[in-house]
Structure 1
Amino acid sequence: MYKNVLQAIEGIEIYPLISFSIFFLFFLGLLVYVALMDKKYLQSMSSIACEDENHEITTLDSAKQ
């Protein structure tokens, strides 16, 4: 039943192409973003989980005071 309804709509074949293009471009952009990230920033972010919980993290608000 639904197959017949969707076949009757003109121009519907473009929507799967558009959605795949958006999906592909998003993940391609994400891959480029991750590849170009600063390696020092990634290293500092990965070490946060290993730091002591009592270690004070300096933020912009506390740096101004």
Structure 2
Amino acid sequence: MADSTDSPDWLPLAGLFAAIIAIAGLGNYVFAQLGLGRVGSLIWVLGYGGVVVTAWALWFRGQTFDPQ
């Protein structure tokens, strides 16, 4: 049986981000089916946008991409 230390540190956070995006997509679908397309779009934008902003703040903000 594999140890839990074999997985990368970022894996749980990436899984959480994927789950949030999936939930936002399902929310968008449900509200669109109820005739509330704008509410569904708002849920999608807030969910997906929140993941993008959080990922930038946690992972990419301190990165430098200087050509060598």
**Range class of TM-score, shorter chain:** 0.3 to 0.5
Q: TM-score, normalised by structure 2?
A: 0.42
Q: TM-score, normalised by structure 1?
A: 0.43
